[in-house]
Chain A
């Protein structure tokens, strides 16, 4: 496997211009969509089959409900090291590339939509026109030709950075240190730790506060972690059913009166 690639999104630098969203649409030839009113500048409310990058806007309020801070964050598929969508996919359409990114082979996907509900971040979307599941490809065509993803290329403030994961992680940690010195005491990395949730995210973030402010799960869990425990409980249930049937149908002379 080649050296793992990553995207690092630093929300402290995001100005909410959505150049990333537009660049993504242009490069990936994603059709325009009807705008929707979400109550903020955010459009759309969720990732869709035609929006793989999504700038989210959040208004953080204090205990009295007063506006405290306005947050902007360019969100994208996290390309998890342990990916719920990839593990769920029954066809093997979702695969890991040699760069560590997660991609959906559109020629294999049969549109069962299991990956859509298996993603802990609600990234994967179903395309009703093609009948397949879609999401950010990490610009698979570009990275195989020596280019970075279109979103990172377009970002005017370098809020989105692309590079080798290990190098980006060093820069990200330095940036957290700088921000803390500047008074952003809650600045933290999300998904950088490869020993943490989901084995680390290959698109990781620098947040200025708790993940919950950005609508992100504090500790995302790989849904497939449930399979073994749930299966064992099912086996227990099967044993009881089998025993019940044996007891009900076994011959008991004198009692049931055959």
Chain B
């Protein structure tokens, strides 16, 4: 097929930023929840910072999405319309003015964003009240944390599934984008918490080292998903793919991909972390490694979206 036949959505950098911050928020939330469930007292710093970051990172997301719409005043149409049409797709459900389209990741994502935002707010509020000297409503935190954790996974992964459900040659044969984006969410979520903790310079050396152990694990998962993504695209062999892969691996985007996403974002942090010994968790080194992971996490999403839209 002539790849030139297809059109692209021209999603601007704002959408990449939302995908990055959403993944980071989801990852940080999941980490905070698991740490809270395992030992709320020992991991208090991780839980606090994790829930705060999740809330602050998701906060601008809806604003970015609304600003990008052709008609921002109609943003609510993502989940509800006053007079819905009858036939709006397979696996579509309408209840009153609300609609859920299971095969439209953008619609499902809008619902998940709504749910995640509410739960991220509740978790952050609970932490905030505790910080102000009040008592934590631990049941609320556990419930909001667990349900919000599932939403957090969803928020991190769905942009990849959303891209995979387009006709763009790079995306339609990728299959691993959701898994990759989720791993990036986990690594950047962990890195964001670690960065803040190391800058705050608390006494939580041991929990910080455990956090870095998790982040390194997520980074390895990220690398594996990235390799699987490229292999899947390469073996798909559909027309237009060759050009897309060439742009990514050896064309104008290759520097951003290899140097930014792979070397700076994955290999250098892994090498520094493994060489330095995860357990030590020296604050300066942790801050550096975390910053690199965050930069790489943004670039890997940015470069894949840019190439997929351009080719």
Does B106 contact A126, Cβ atoms closer than 8 Å?
A: no
Q: How far, in angstroms, from A45 to B6 measured CA to CA in the complex?
A: 11
Q: Which of B8, B69, B84, B90 contacts A87 (CB 8 A)?
A: B90
In the assembled complex, the CB of B307 is this many whole angstroms from the nearest CB of chain A, namely: 13
Asked whether A131 and B214 contact (CB < 8 A) given A117-B9, A230-B160, A237-B221, the answer is no
The answer to whether B167 touches A223 (Cβ under 8 A) is: yes
Bound complex: CA A53 to CA B209 (Å):
62
Given contacts A227-B161, A242-B30, contact A122 B77 (CB under 8 A): no
Point out the residue from A216, A226, A241 that lies within 8 Å of B221, measured CB to CB: A241
Whether A231 is near chain B, meaning CB under 8 Å from some CB there, is: yes
The answer to whether A132 has its CB under 8 Å from any CB of chain B is yes
Q: Could you tell me if B81 and A92 are in contact, using CB atoms closer than 8 angstroms? A: yes
Please measure, in the bound complex, the distance between the C-alpha atom of A227 and the C-alpha atom of B10, giving whole angstroms: 22
Stretch at the interface among A7-15, A136-144, A152-160, A249-257: A249-257
- CB neighbours of A229 from chain B (8 A): 175
Tell me, yes or no, whether A248 is within 8 Å of chain B by CB.
yes
Of B11, B164, B167, B172, the contact of A113 (CB 8 Å cutoff): B11
Q: Is A105 an interface position by the 8 A CB rule?
A: yes
CB closest residue in chain B, given A115: B9
CA distance A257 to B180 in the complex (A): 33
Q: How far is the CA of A109 from the CA of B78 in the complex (A)?
A: 9
Contact B87 A96 (CB under 8 A): yes
> A90 contacts B106, CB within 8 Å?
yes
Query: Closest approach, in angstroms, between the C-beta of A194 and any C-beta of chain B?
Result: 16
Q: Determine whether A125 belongs to the interface, using a CB cutoff of 8 Å to chain B.
A: yes
Knowing A227-B105, A237-B183 touch, does A117 contact B88 (C-beta < 8 A)?
A: no
Chain B residues with CB under 8 A of A223: 164-167, 172
**Separation of A249 and B42 alpha carbons in the complex (Å):** 10
Report which of B88, B172, B174 forms a contact with A94, defined as CB distance below 8 A. B88
Within 8 A of B (CB), among A26-46: 45-46
State whether the Cβ of A187 lies closer than 8 Å to any Cβ in chain B: no
Q: Which residues of B are found within 8 Å of A257, using beta-carbon distances?
A: 206
Q: Given A86-B89, A233-B176, A238-B157, check contact A122 B5 (CB 8 Å).
A: yes
Please, which residues of chain B bring their CB within 8 A of the CB of A236? Answer: 179
In B208-234, the 8 Å CB interface with A consists of 209-211, 213-214, 217-218, 221, 225
Cβ–Cβ < 8 Å partners of B206 in chain A: 256-258
CB distance from A52 to the nearest CB of B (A): 14
Q: Which of A118, A231, A258 contacts B178 (CB 8 A)?
A: A231
Contact in complex: B221, A91 (CB < 8 Å): no
* Complex: chain A residue closest to B153, CB-CB: A238
Interface pair A248/B81, CB less than 8 Å apart: no
Q: B54 CB to closest chain A CB, in angstroms?
A: 14
A212 at the interface (CB under 8 A from B): yes
Chain A, 80-95, contact with B by CB distance < 8 Å: what is the 0/1 string? Answer: 0010101111111111
- Bound: A248/B110 CA distance, A: 32
In the complex, residue of chain A having the shortest beta-carbon distance to the beta carbon of B212: A248
B107 contacts across to A, CB distance below 8 A: 89-91
Instruction: Give the distance in Å from the alpha carbon of A159 to the alpha carbon of B76 in the complex.
Output: 43
Chain B residues positioned under 8 Å from A113 (CB to CB): 9-11, 70
- Residue of A121, A127, A237, A244 with most chain B CB atoms under a 10 A cut-off: A237
Most buried by A among B35, B165, B186, B221: B165
Given contacts A90-B110, A224-B165, contact A248 B75 (CB under 8 A): no
Indicate whether A246 reaches chain B with its CB closer than 8 angstroms. Answer: yes
Q: Does A208 contact B (CB under 8 A)?
A: no
CA gap between A130 and B71 in the complex, in Å: 8
B34 and A226 contact, CB distance less than 8 A? no
Tell yes or no: A110 within 8 A of B by CB. Answer: yes
Whether B161 pairs with A114 at a CB distance below 8 angstroms is no
Which candidate, B96-104, B116-124, B128-136, B253-261, is the interface stretch facing chain A?
B96-104
Give the Cβ gap from A257 to chain B, nearest Cβ, in Å.
Answer: 7
Contact assessment for B175 and A233 in the assembled complex, using a CB-CB cutoff below 8 Å: yes
Given A87-B89, A226-B164, check contact A132 B71 (CB 8 Å): yes
Within 8 A of A (CB), among B157-209: 157-158, 160-162, 164-168, 172, 174-183, 186, 206, 209
Would you call B81 and A118 a contact (CB within 8 A)?
A: no
Nearest Cβ on chain B to A9's Cβ, whole angstroms: 16
* Nearest residue, chain B, Cβ from A237: B179
A245 CB to nearest chain B CB (Å): 4
A116-B70 CB under 8 A given contacts A92-B81, A108-B77: no
CA distance A133 to B77 in the complex (A): 14
B5 proximity list for chain A (CB < 8 A) = 46, 121-122, 215-217
Contact residues in B for A242 (Cβ distance below 8 Å): 30, 34
Near B by CB (< 8 A), chain A positions 43-70 give 45-47
Q: Which residues of A sit under 8 angstroms from B110, Cβ to Cβ? A: 90
Closest to B207 in A: A249
Say whether B7 contacts A92, CB under 8 Å: no
User: B164, A230: Cβ atoms under 8 Å?
Assistant: yes
Residues of A within 8 A of B218 (CB): 241, 244
Pull 6 A–B residue pairs with CB atoms less than 8 Å apart, ordered by A: A110-B78, A120-B6, A224-B103, A230-B161, A237-B179, A245-B35
Q: Which 4 A-B pairs have the closest CB atoms?
A: A111-B70, A131-B70, A234-B178, A95-B85
